[in-house]
Chains A and B, each alone.
Chain A
Amino acid sequence: MYDVAVIGAGIAGTFIARELTKYDLKIVLIDKDTDISNGTTKANSAIVHAGYDAKDGTLKGLLNAKGNAMYDKVCTELDVPFKRIGSFVIATNEEEMESVRDLYERGIKNNIPNMKILTEEEVKEMEPNLSKDIIGALYAPTAGIVSPWELSVALAENAGDNGCEIRLETEVTDMKKEDDKFVIDTNHGEIEAKYIFNCAGVYADKINEMVGEKTFEIVPTRGQYNILDKSVGSLVNHVIFQAPTKSGKGVLVAPTVHGNLLVGPDAEGLDDREALETTSERIGFIREKSRKTTDKIDFRKTITSFSGLRAKPSTGDFIIEESKDASGFINVAGIESPGLSAAPAIAEYAIDIFRNINTDLKDNENFNPTRKPVIRFMELSDEEKAEIIKKDSRYGTIICRCENITEGEIVDCINRNAGGKTVDAIKRRVRPGMGRCQGGFCGPRVMEILARELKEDIKNIVKDSRKSYILTEETKQA
């Protein structure tokens, strides 16, 4: 029996699981997928918003700015790349300037620091590659970019290091509340826990309805993106949003923490909670829309297109509260944008609810907030490179030629808590396959390393889901 079960290992679930390990509790983090961060967290804009956008008085408004301010500390503790590069909201006409000024006013109410309305000349000076039609912009220097899945994986790992148990490929099929505990049915047997955090993303309404009335609904809302080669990653220096107009929110153009260029997303409400397909119409749409920001994007440098599903709540705001039908069951649902930005504050807010229910919490005296540092070989100096290869020769073997990822880094990311077990999981952690060749060269070698480290037959190494097999059979077996 666990004290707490956290359902869903996305950004909210992993932040909460790690926060819980600060207390003397028996915790389990459960996810249906083969990896941490495999839902909304793995496919979104990767932006830590400054927080001017949300209406004051909403949870989004309260938690975005607060979460933003917490990012430096947690990313330092967990050795996760985070860059506070600032954001622009650009306007190309007076109507859009009006909405830029509205956002500024809202930002003041939300206590967003150091915002400024830029003139046309200031925009040109700070972002020379933007459209000539831009007449001004809102500048928010506290906005940042982060790698959401790396952060989520690091949180899970740190939670694991501090005693949290992690059960992947464990799908919650049903749940019932008994006197003082919840009994969770999964595809891998029953799990019992006294408290539940429902962080199930686009499935959060379904999980909620297992123990109570339908109080909210999640509408999976798809957004499609283009990601471009690093050679065009420095086209912009800030996250560039378009001013919202009557016809919609526009698309963003932003560098990623790893130096690629991200363009997207659109928004499309769907019934299907797994509909991660991209469509040529929508990709064409975001490309067309991006021209308002800049016409200098060379889409021939596209590395890949992808789509993500936002967990859009029917209530319009984050739902972070104890269920009225099942005490001890805390919903952390509807975490759509700015969920990533707010996540550290969401966890704090949710834990406050938990502490109000569970008043005799003891601290975990052994809690260590720091994750074992990650060696990023190409970021080392020549001397450090020489040194690390001497210590461990596996850092002398490059597996991924596009991003220069060494065998040492891949082996390390497999063997950590919440380690990568699939080809995509390795790609998310240390990036082989993220580059131009998209795994063409390194794919077979990553599979070999996975098979060796996991002591698995290479035929059982999958791309992502358990059913996403890569090899069918050996040749010459007839």
Chain B
Amino acid sequence: MKKHELVCIVCPMGCRLDVIEEKEKYTVLGNKCPRGKDYGVKELTNPTRVVTSTVKIEGGLLNRIPVKTNGDIPKDKVFECMKLLDKIQLKAPVKAGDIVLKNIFNTGIDVVTSRSM
């Protein structure tokens, strides 16, 4: 049996989790919601993150428009994802939620704009 102490990053609550690992089975304690339970297991088996950044845009109020992955991608793909964003150039107007990159790294996750401009 092994005990892992984690802080849940799913929401700003920051629940302190104890994840008990026993024969590749994980028991999560200290979570205040079901998402915390999922996080506890996933963080130890296949950690993922949402990426937020910006891409270039022309003709808008600003020079950059914020974007995000509309779901978690593997943690070790974060910098690769950033590289893909460097090459994007949008033209205003765009709507919040417009897809900038589809199905990145075959994860089924898209990069979408996170505001209208």
Contact = CB atoms under 8 A, between A and B. Distances in A.
B54 A475 contact: yes
Contacts of A477: 86
**Contact residues on A (Cβ < 8 Å of other chain), bracket:** under 10
B67 to A, nearest CB: 11
A347 to B, nearest CB: 48
A476 B83 contact: no
B85 interface: yes
Interface string B59-86: 0000010000000000000000001011
B55 interface: yes
Interface string A438-477: 0000000000000000000000000000000000000111
- Residue of A475, A476, A477 contacting most chain B CB atoms (<10 Å): A476
A448 to B, nearest CB: 11
Contacts of B16: none
A476 B88 CA distance: 9
B83 A478 contact: yes
A184 to B, nearest CB: 44
Interface string B88-106: 1000000000000000000
Contacts of B83: 478
A478 B82 CA distance: 10
A162 to B, nearest CB: 43
Contacts of A478: 83, 86
B49 interface: no
Nearest to A474: B63
B37 interface: no
B47 to A, nearest CB: 25
A475 B64 CA distance: 9
A435 to B, nearest CB: 25
B64 to A, nearest CB: 7
Contacts of B88: 476
A359 B54 CA distance: 69
7 contacts: A475-B64, A476-B54, A476-B55, A476-B85, A477-B86, A478-B83, A478-B86
Interface of B: 54-56, 64, 83, 85-86, 88
Interface of A: 475-478
Which 9 A-B pairs have CB atoms at the shortest separation, nearest pair first?
A478-B86, A476-B86, A476-B56, A476-B55, A478-B83, A475-B64, A475-B54, A476-B85, A476-B54
Given A475-B54, A477-B86, 9 more contacts: A475-B64, A476-B55, A476-B56, A476-B64, A476-B85, A476-B86, A476-B88, A478-B83, A478-B86
